[in-house]
Amino acid sequence: MEIKVLKNVMIKNNSIGADNRAFFREKAVLAVNLVSSPGAGKTTLLESTIDKMRSKYKVAVIEGDLYTSRDAERLEKFNIQIVQINTEGGCHLDARMVSGAIKEINIDDVDVLFIENVGNLVCPASFDLGEAKRILIYSIAEGADKPQKYSTMFKTADVVLINKVDLSTACRVDVDHVEKEIRSINDKALVLRTTAVDPHSLREWMMWLEGEIERSKKSKD
Ligand code: MG
Ligand code: ZN
């Protein structure tokens, strides 16, 4: 019985997610879903990324969080459209929440929409929000065994950013080994090494992102 209920929830979510995706495509907006454990660096990555790109592209953010709006407050300095979703204890965003948040955004004034998911390496993997790309930020401080232990998350990512690589010595993690593990789980994902607080480490990430934004803009013409 319970399995049937869960199945219905997922069917409903996928259908709303498909509507969101069609909407983003029609509006030529690149929607990016940022997933990770708590503390891996999603908001820091957003700060560095938005700072680099906001003179060139129009950015909006949907912030997912259990109870607070702390991450949204960190991004207020950029003067961009931000919508906060508080899940009131819920451990992931779903497509319906995102659909509601979109209505609060002037989407005609957006090139790229970042959706910061709730920090959780488990169920966000199963909920399609309608994003074009899913970015997994994995901090090496979480330990080298996490790609295998949370493989669903790694399997469903389009990009994996191995973050906080500057801490690899202190954390006694071999980044080459971690990268090999990730590639053995998902050989299609783009895997990059970053230190989100250091903008210089984000060059490849920014190049990829700008390429995707341009692609989604062109698809409208
Ligand atoms: Mg955050
Ligand atoms: Zn959840």
Going by C-beta distance under 8 Å and a sequence separation of 6 or more, which residues neighbour residue 187?
none
Tokens read off for 125? 């993997």
The percent of the chain in helix, strand and coil, each rounded to the nearest 5, is: 50, 20, 30
CA–centroid distance, 188 to ligand 1, in Å, is 26
Residue-averaged pLDDT of the chain: 96
Residue 117 in this model has a pLDDT that exceeds 80: yes
Q: What is the pTM of this model?
A: 0.96
Ligand 2 centroid, distance to 177 Cα (angstroms): 29
Eight-class DSSP state of 91? S
Is the Cβ–Cβ distance between 98 and 46 less than 8 Å? no
- State the distance from the centre of ligand 1 to the C-alpha of 185, rounded, in angstroms: 25
pLDDT tens, residue by residue, 120-168 = 999 999 999 999 999 999 999 999 999 999 999 999 999 999 999 999 9
What ligand is nearest to the CA atom of residue 117?
1
pLDDT of residue 5: 85
pLDDT class of 72 with cuts at 50, 70, 90: very high
Domain ranges of the chain: 2-218
Ligand nearest to the CA of 119: 1
- Per-residue confidence (pLDDT) for residue 56, from 0 to 100: 97
With respect to CATH, is domain 2-218 assigned 1.10.287.3510?
Answer: no
Ligand 2 centroid vs 100 CA: distance in angstroms? 18
> Which ligand is closest to the CA of 122, given by its number?
2
Q: How far is the CA of 2 from the centre of ligand 2 (A)?
A: 16
Q: What is the pLDDT of residues 43-70, one digit of tens each?
A: 999 999 999 999 999 999 999 999 999 9
**Helix 203-218 crosses helix 42-53 at what angle (to 10 degrees)?**
70
Burial class (CB in 10 A: 0-12, 13-18, 19+), 179: middle
Ligand having the closest approach to the CA of 39: 1
- In the prediction, which pLDDT does 221 show? 60
Q: What ligand is nearest to the CA atom of residue 120?
A: 2
Buried b (16+ CB within 10 A) or exposed e, 199-216: eebbeebeebbbebbeeb
